[in-house]
Amino acid sequence: MTAHAPGTPSAPGNLRARGAEGRCPALALDAGSARTRIWMQGEDTVLDVPTAFRQGTATARPVHRGVIVDPAVLTALIARLADSLPARARPVLVFTTPVLSDARHYTTAVSALQILRPRSVLAVDSVKAIALDSGADLSEPLLVVDVGAHLSEVALLTDGTVTAACRGTMGTSDLATSTPAELATATTAMIIKMLPDRPSPELVDALDRGALLAGGGALHPGLVHQLSTRLRGRIQPVPQPHTAAVRRATRIAGSAQRHPALSRPLPTATHKGQLLTEQQAPRACTGQPPHG
């Protein structure tokens, strides 16, 4: 297999070439509206494919603006990707979710992931995964901005916990008909909407510290400049911003893999994976998740 820098996207099939040994690999999945990425611990490459499934002459897209709109198609897409994984694997799996995803999103995703026969499943907010991967000091307030192709998210982390968040149905795909300035204005409005009454001391501290920027938006210099201008502060793009969330999710899966509860021998019978959702403090947000 050709050597790549960690986080380099790959075509389907590369993960099988040097998969993790054993029947319980650590695996992470990030199913976005535009791209789906899978990363296995110990691999140098990310399996990176469009979040689309061709059915005859039509192309179905199971995720729209951060919402799973076609669970059956998502299952079919994941089943196709499973061909790239080690045979008979029972992975410990972590999947990323957009901030403020509801219970229906979690259960729908877990149902689709059963095609991988996971031994256990852990869900993590993508914004928190990005914050962890950045190596930032989470004992101080931190603002994370994730501008993807079709969805943008902003979140305030206090002591490592998401305490306020908002999301909006715009992203880099909209730059075909709008400008970086307009996208930056919409993103700034989300931050204002997140805490409408008055800026909290934590948000002020986070803005003074500088916001982290991830997603494809971090690769657009014009957007970075426009956000910095509107927020009147430093914007710090994270390394390899399009894979930051799935990269950290892989490390979380590796940690979960070593948990004593998963050290017992695997049963011979197939069983459904257990959903282990990360518990967080209540999050205040006036923005509503998108529908449809």
pLDDT over 80 (residue 280): no
Angle between helix 103-113 and helix 71-82 axes, rounded to 10 deg: 40
Note the pLDDT tens digit of each residue in 95-124: 999 999 999 999 999 999 999 999 899 999
The CA distance from 230 to 252, in Å, is: 34
% of the chain exceeding 70 in pLDDT = 80
- Do 63 and 74 form a contact (C-beta atoms < 8 A)? yes
Strand order in the sheet with 211-214: 161-168, 152-158, 142-147, 211-214, 235-237
User: Where are the domains positioned within the chain?
Assistant: 8-127+242-277, 135-237
Give the residue ranges of DSSP H helices in the chain: 14-17, 71-82, 103-113, 126-134, 180-194, 201-209, 221-231, 244-257
Same fold, 8-127+242-277 and 135-237: yes
Measured between alpha carbons, how far is residue 59 from residues 10, 52, 166, 288 in Å? Answer: 21, 6, 30, 28
Burial call 182-207: b when 16+ CB within 10 Å, e when fewer? ebbebbbebbeebbeeeebebbebbb
pLDDT over 50 (residue 277): no
The domain 135-237 is placed in CATH, from the list 3.40.50.2020, 3.30.750.24, 2.60.40.10, 3.30.420.40, at: 3.30.420.40
The domain 8-127+242-277 is placed in CATH, from the list 3.10.310.30, 3.30.420.40, 3.90.199.10, 3.40.718.10, at: 3.30.420.40
pLDDT, mean over the chain = 82
Nearest to 254 by CA among 34, 83, 39, 57: 39
The CA distance from 93 to 265, in Å, is: 17
Note the pLDDT tens digit of each residue in 139-193: 999 999 999 999 999 999 999 999 999 999 999 999 999 999 999 999 999 998 8
160 against 259, higher pLDDT? 160
* Global pTM value: 0.81
pLDDT over 90 (residue 16): no
